[in-house]
Structure 1
Amino acid sequence: MDEKRELTSVDLAALESELSDYIGAKLDKAYLYADDDVVRLKMRDFDRGRVEFIIELGDVKRAHVAATEHVPDAPGRPPDFAMMLRNRLSGADLARVEQFEFDRILELEFDREDASTTIVAELFGDGNVAVLDEHGEVIDCLDTVRLKSRTVAPGTPYEFPSARFNPLTVDYEGFAARIRESDADVVRTLATQLNFGGLYGEELCSRADIEYNLPVEELTDEQLERLYEVVSELATRLREGDLDPRVYYESTGDGDGDGDSDDADAGDGSENRRRVDVTPIPLVEYEHLYSEQFEDFNDALDDYFFNFQREEQVEGGEPKRPDFEAEVSKYEHIIQQQEEAIEDFEADAEAEREKAELLYANYDLVDEVLSTVQGARAEDVPWAEIEATFEEGAEQGIPAAEAVVGVDGTEGTVTLDIDGTRVTVDAHTGVEKNADELYKEAKRIEGKKEGAQAAIEDTREDLEAVQERREEWEAEDSETEVESDDEAEDDEPTDWLNEPSIPVRSNEQWYEQFRWFHTSDGYLVIGGRDADDNEELVQKYLERGDKFFHAQAHGGPVTVLKATGPSEPAKEVEFPQSSLDEAAQFAVSYSSVWKDGRFAGDVYMVDPDQVSKTPESGEYLEKGGFAVRGDRTYFEDTEASVAVGITCDDETRVVGGPPAAIRPQAATSITVEPGQYAQNDIAKMLYREFKSRFADETFVRKVASPDRIQEFLPPGGSRMVEE
């Protein structure tokens, strides 16, 4: 028999009662997997914790809560539809889950203080998801529908299909009248006129002990009453949630695949069975099939569709084992960094409080320094002269002057050495105000610590999900994980340069619209190509936890070292020094430093909250420009150097960026430095050199044309570096 691919109206009626238990869950984030027609709603429930709701609309049409280990990894750059969902629903509470009449339509209503939003999932025909405002008007939809019978389009009132006859709520007179109107047999009448579909039409006939092909005109009153009783019993079970979900298996023909439907253990021959259906209650029609019992219908649906799709994916070959170790290592590395960051936040906050307490403990000394500066500035004494005065006072042994170790006229600050601790104070205000600012800074740092603690919990959840998936995989495929010596030899790295034919494999990513590379530690760095890119990077992609880099020279790209992807929650990350150095080199290499023929330049780094599009009073910011405020971390005399390479593992493509990051990733690479050859000329030179290195020259033409190479070259002249 064919495997089930779509939910029925009976399935949705059963789901409605189960999903009502999730009312009150708060939506965290929404995702759209455009290639698979999947909408994912990630929610938090007070009792259950993380809740993942999946709506699929392609060849498979389903809607149910899924186990976290069965949820696909977050996609790349979220499309506009997903961003709209996040803007409308982030923080909203699930308020209502309802099946529309007896149709394959599910409504999920979310409430937030500022708005009410309803998601309508149409699990029939081509499938669709429409998002409605509190007035029932379509905000957006996956597919626009314009038919004579109905319209589903943004900006118009949502129109449901014509209401189907609902056999679960009709009284006996209405039921009997509907049946008697038919000129078909009983099973076809139940399937089409009463909207039960073929399977449940047969099931109801079997339970009422009525022949499938009995013409309706021959149906007796007693039989009709019995049929209504059976339908009413089904309606009551669905409405009250009195379910007994089952996943049914059919033998694949190798071995005995049938068994007792009440047997919870697949027993011998389980590997010769395949899942064919999932139902909210046991069916008489399936008594001959082996079935597995589940506590919840959601769990049964998740088991069926997850494994059904896995079986489809492996047909014709063995599934490729996911790299669980790499995922586990990644999350463990992130957790370690987050734990270290928390320790640093605690230490930094304590250090700020200690500075504030030092100011109060040495109130008279600090006040004397501040009063001296303020008095001198009131008389327009230059800062350099004030600094010289303190130096003279220190030579004379004046305690207040001896405490001054630095004066910065551009910032209007004085740095003091108090009991071996350096404290920088604002010379324009008093002791109390300076101490208060230090306490505020300590509180701000503790706020970052709280954010890091929340982030670490999310990361631990992700780690646990990967570990559970690994255990499940190893339990199912333990035999295939033992590799022979011959197989181990096959794992030797491929010598791509001497391969006669290299398959082209590519997967376009959201960040490719910008300059980009991955650091040697695996972090993404993106940079603008022009002023428009710079604007978009700061306004759309610069998030908490990221680092902002810019060359000290005018005319450089905004460079962002990403802590997380755009579809992931922002997290504080302690970046390795190697990633910071590579991001700085990237920023200087694609700046005017290269264009001017210089081999090095200075770069500064700041946090996202220090970057603003709002200029100071009287200033003007040109397009692509930003105001940067506060302390900066400088990378002085950073070398301008870029490597361009070609990758062959996983993906075949051109990559470019700092040599330390690119060389390990690429099958081969070429380093360039500022030089005499124009950008298009050096691109052609690199292309010819790559062609000479690969045995498969056609591969180079496909993936590394001069135009693609040029995308990774800095503006201005370049030359190859002999290596």
Structure 2
Amino acid sequence: MDRKRELTSVDLAALAGELSGYEGAGVGKVYLYPDRDLLRFRMRHYDLGRTELLVEVGEDKRVNVTDPDHVPEAPERPPNFAMMLRNRMQGAELVDVSQFQFDRILELTFERDDETTTIVAELFGDGNVAILDGTGEVIDCLETVRLKSRTVAPGAQYEFPSARFNPLGVDYDAFEARMRDSDSDLVRTLATQLNFGGLYGEELCTLAGVDYNVPIEEATDDQLRALYDALRRLADRLADSDLDPRVYYDLDDPDAEDPTDDDGAIEGQRVDVTPIPLAEYDDRYGEPFDSFNEALDDYFTFASDEDDEGGGDAAGGDRGRPDFESEIAKHERIIEQQQGAIEDFEAQAERERANAEALYANYDLVDDILSTVQEARAEDRSWDDIEERFAEGARQGIPAAEAVVSLDGSEGTVTIDIDGERVTLAASEGVEKNADRLYREAKRIEGKKEGAEEAIAQTRSELEAVEERKAEWEAADAGEAGSGGDESEGSDEDDDEPVDWLAEPSIPVRQSDHWFEDYRWFHTSDGFLVIGGRDADDNEDLVKKYLDRGDRFFHAQAHGGPATILKATGPSESYDDDVEIPESSKCEAAQFAVSYSSIWKDGKFAGDVYEVGSDQVSKTPESGEFLEKGGFAIRGDRTYYESTEVGVAVGITCEPETRVIGGPPAAIEPKSETTITVEPGQYAQNDIAMRLYREFKGRFADDSFVRKVASADRIQEFLPPGGSRMVDD
């Protein structure tokens, strides 16, 4: 049995209630562990004392309070995301914990003075954490999402996925209708249509005493009633926080009377954690815990250690085997969500179109309502007065007045009820324009549906690729097993083989938008962001907006070059004295500054660069001097990097994102799947960009991938001004 790596919707329903007991805890510091996509909130509660809250959305996806002894060691350098959270949330109190609908999304709301911050943990798919302000706008997020169905990006309003059906609050009629509408069997319908997932779908069948595989059309009313009663018992336990958590094991010796060793440790591997005991696990050893948080803490703290010790594969496979099952399950879940979104878009578009047609079918009545509002507004009547006028007409039984549900003066709208549907109309427009707006909205929603269909096709293609890799791996593994060779040979090769992206026939495109892409940029080999201007306007903009305390400013000792900033923090983040920029990052920033300056354009291979602190850069000239656009006055001592060699490499990354990157070779080469180094030479920017494009295209088996992510235009953005040539050309 593969161990559990993600919380279910049922788990989150139980967890939200338990975490509410920590409301009132104040935030001290926030840490981010980028290699695990793990956020740690160090808090203190008046009654409960030190509280360490973990939010993890990487390979493992969970939220729980952990024992202080179980927290990982803090990163030496706080990433920008953590710095932003510290600046915003220090001293804030946890005021609310809630699950979004019945989805695997948990919202944690904090307040400080009059400022509200909501942490949205998306524990599905690839996982994400979004930080929202009090209006629901995204301040920042771990991953930017730009789909036609939803957007999660800094500066945009956060958009939840389409709401999933919530089975915990439905009455029997709604439950029966949902079940009867399926064309599958009982357990699959519970798992997918009612969103319980496979394990809890089976659990409900077992508790109800019905066979999993009964087709819906053959299910009796008594069987459906028994399933609904089992569902209600589960829902009531979750609502009342009547929990009895368990951590379940695969024991080394399932028949042993005592599963513990001489030290009292359980001999086996943790494989699941649940808020209540499960009938499905009656034949499996389960360790009880006093709270679900304690069970989650034990499970996610120690199950990963068991994986590292080689105990994570209960089926007996070795650690070198890629976890194809988890990849396949992830893609299947994404397809299920995308299919649900498509169905929602179809229903929304149909509803908008039906409403538009209803306006024409009831033309006279709708025209009467709109004309009444328009005439009243022309007479300067208030919206309240108009609403009261409609209310009086409804009391008199006037059909047009009876159809009016409400008016909104701030938006200039009137909501009416036609054929049982509520439709909001622009009061200043006529029937035709309102109907046309509804038709346009239906068309817009259908466009989102097309985007979702493209996404689901891509996901299905990725799923097929994973299944093909699994089949190839198993075929190769079977061949090795049957060769009769010495089992000790190759025993050192315990780690997963890295993907050879150059040979992959189909590479999925994964990209996010970042604010710094408007400028020249790269990340140093130590992970620090370096940004530089492309022209005088950029130089002015960068220094004005992004040169902050703790940053270092670099410039070539030559006329014409980028104002280069080595960032110690991100935009709007406070500087932390713990941040120390390594010399290696400074040397790379100096090489960047000289490479994109006139030194390269003049065909030279080295030049001097100076470095100063952020407080030494000013737009105020000395007396009697003049500063041209893009120029700055530098005051105080400078640190010089003499005879710094020019050097630029352009590379393509495939993990975790697919994109072109460029900059000093020492920073670019380790991050890229393949790189090309350039030096001053005879080819103009557009010519050398095309040469690099053709070279990259020949290196990848999937040449369409290069066309998508590394066009000549995108490559040119990373090339210095002036002529260049490939080093090996």
TM-score, normalised via structure 1 length: 0.48
* Bigger Rg, which one: 1
TM-score, normalised via structure 2 length: 0.47
